[in-house]
Amino acid sequence: MQGKVLWSLGLMMSLASLQAHDLYRADFENPPFSPGNITGQDGWEEYHISTPNLGQISTERALSGSQSLKITPVNGGANSWWWRPTPHDTSTSPNKMIDIRWDMYLTSSTRQGHYGIDVYSDTVERVCAFRVNENSQVEIILFVNGVTEQLVSTGVFVQRDRWNRYRLLIDYNTGTFAAFVNGQAIGGGRINSLAGAVFSDADIWHFNVASNSNDVAFYDNLRIMAVAQAGQEGDVDGNGCVEDSDLLTVLFAFGSNDPDADVNQDGIVDDADLLMVLFNFGSGC
């Protein structure tokens, strides 16, 4: 009996060590965010090349709650970044994968810009990037040999004037990353080997095309997590085991757009998510 108890305790500790670790999450709600410039709120920073574009907490549109981060191009602007430092050393942590998720709404307009996420290391080296361009096509920035930066068009287009759910999964073990839109894999490749083992931040990134873009973007439900594995299908809490807690999370969020319970990341917690948990129940335990 004592051996069984010790084995059970050991299993629980092992599962706990695999638990996804939240580096940062922002629903852009109040608190801690108030309408206005995001810079200086909850530790957020910004950097601009040329005229600053605007990054503001807004009540104009939100997927969940009543606020989101609104990015507005400014005439004469170029590249702009907004971020909150979230350092994580993958060389010392068992969680060697970074899982970044966000919802993004792009308006259609006569002059459209680029919007996405740009990932950096603690040495300010670019790790990889993921954006939607002026033609609404998804592009990724990878490093074909771990060093040479390359912009790649995925051939995948997103619909504007609606919310879409995006994800970047970066594996520091293999030196690769994968990109997803609404739960569907759309591409990936090598990360920058010069970036090193320390993940620093996932930046909200805007490129103001021709310095006169007149569309806007809204970001909501930003999640940045450090995980030990890509995830057992149906494992909502990231502990490696599909169990009661995962089922309850989906049931309590049923019908919502909660990104933490949206197993297939298609933007809605529905029957498909519930079935994924049920069909995989007990896996990894």
Rounded Cα distance between 14 and 171, Å, is 20
Structural domain total, the chain: 2
Mean pLDDT of 187-215: 96
Q: From 227, 255, 270, give the residue that closes a domain.
A: 227
The pLDDT assigned to 146 comes to 92
Token code pair at residue 82: 């907004």
Whether residue 238 is predicted with pLDDT greater than 90 in this model: the reply is: no
Does 132 lie in the same domain as 86?
yes
Mean pLDDT of 202-209: 98
Does 220 lie in the same domain as 244?
no
Does 245 lie in the same domain as 161?
no
E strands, 107-216, are: 114-121, 126-132, 137-143, 149-157, 163-171, 176-181, 184-190, 198-207
Does a structural domain hold residue 99? yes
Does 164 lie in the same domain as 132?
yes
Question: Bigger pLDDT: 77 or 232?
Answer: 77
Whether residue 270 is predicted with pLDDT greater than 80 in this model: the reply is: yes
Does 206 lie in the same domain as 126?
yes
The pLDDT assigned to 103 comes to 96
Q: From 193, 212, 227, give the residue that closes a domain.
A: 227
Rounded Cα distance between 68 and 109, Å, is 20
The pLDDT assigned to 228 comes to 85
Does 246 lie in the same domain as 113?
no
Average pLDDT value over all residues in the chain: 90
Residues 143-195 have pLDDT tens digits of 998 999 999 999 999 999 999 999 999 999 999 999 999 989 999 999 999 99
The pLDDT assigned to 198 comes to 98
The pLDDT assigned to 10 comes to 43
Mean pLDDT of 107-134: 97
Residues 55-99 have pLDDT tens digits of 999 999 999 999 999 999 999 999 999 999 999 999 999 999 999
Rounded Cα distance between 146 and 212, Å, is 34
Question: Bigger pLDDT: 237 or 203?
Answer: 203
Rounded Cα distance between 107 and 164, Å, is 12
Looking up residue 35, the CATH number of its domain turns out to be 2.60.120.200
Does 152 lie in the same domain as 171?
yes
Q: Which residue type sits at 98?
A: I
E strands, 208-274, are: 217-227
Q: Which residue has the tokens 């890509």?
A: 230
Whether residue 11 is predicted with pLDDT greater than 90 in this model: the reply is: no
The pLDDT assigned to 4 comes to 36
Does 116 lie in the same domain as 49?
yes
Say what the pTM is.
Answer: 0.85
Whether residue 257 is predicted with pLDDT greater than 70 in this model: the reply is: yes
Whether residue 250 is predicted with pLDDT greater than 60 in this model: the reply is: yes
Does a structural domain hold residue 284? no
Does 249 lie in the same domain as 164?
no
Domain residues for the domain of 168 are 21-227
Does a structural domain hold residue 129? yes
Token code pair at residue 268: 């809605």
Looking up residue 242, the CATH number of its domain turns out to be 1.10.1330.10
Rounded Cα distance between 102 and 116, Å, is 9
Does 171 lie in the same domain as 124?
yes
